[in-house]
Amino acid sequence: MGLEVITDELIEKLLTVKKTVDNPRARRKNEDGNERVNFNLSDDEGNKFVLYQRQNTILGMDDDFSCGLSWVMPSGENFTLVRYNGPSHNHPNKIEGNKVGLVTHIHKSSKRYLEETGKADGYAEATTKYKTLEGAVASLTADCNIHRLKTKFDQNKLF
């Protein structure tokens, strides 16, 4: 079963279904210039997911982070459903022809992007939901109905 099964309805269903973290104490690895951890998740229908967290640890790259939720397809490949990124880069939306700017932004997969660009998660929108990786994980966990993972939202700071 490959990418031909992907529809917007399936993406929405996989995002919103209740998911539970199977390994909340997964070990963090710090190598190759980044700190990373993968959590395995499952839902009541037996679907498997991966929630990944990545933080670039190289000097000057604090703003380079990402956390994402992938669905583990029956073929064994991972299909990214959403990705919450830091402001380290200016992401362009190929189809719309605009750029989000150097801000935190959320990629969300769609059938349209899969068909027209070959990559489902090519569309992103700017967000103010978080400032750090920790805040991004908290937002993603809340948005995607993920349970059994301790998270902490970023404090809102007044400037």
Applying CB under 8 A, the residues found at the interface with another protein are: 31-34, 36, 52, 54, 56-61, 64, 66, 68, 70, 75-78, 80, 83, 85, 88-94, 107, 117-119, 121-124
Radius of gyration of the chain (CA): 16
The CB-of-137 to another protein minimum distance in angstroms stands at 14
Q: Which is nearer to another protein, 9 or 31 (CB)?
A: 31
Q: Which is nearer to another protein, 19 or 105 (CB)?
A: 105
The CB-of-142 to another protein minimum distance in angstroms stands at 21
Q: Which is nearer to another protein, 10 or 37 (CB)?
A: 37
The CB-of-3 to another protein minimum distance in angstroms stands at 12
Going by C-alpha positions, the residue among 130, 131, 115, 142 that lies closest to residue 51 is 142
> Which residues 6+ apart lie within 8 Å of 65 measured at CB?
53, 54, 55, 56, 85, 86, 88, 132, 133, 136
Report residue 53 as tokens.
Answer: 């967290």
The CB-of-75 to another protein minimum distance in angstroms stands at 5
The CB-of-64 to another protein minimum distance in angstroms stands at 6
Residue 97 CA, chain-centre distance (Å), reads 22
Q: Which is nearer to another protein, 18 or 22 (CB)?
A: 22
Q: Which is nearer to another protein, 71 or 130 (CB)?
A: 71
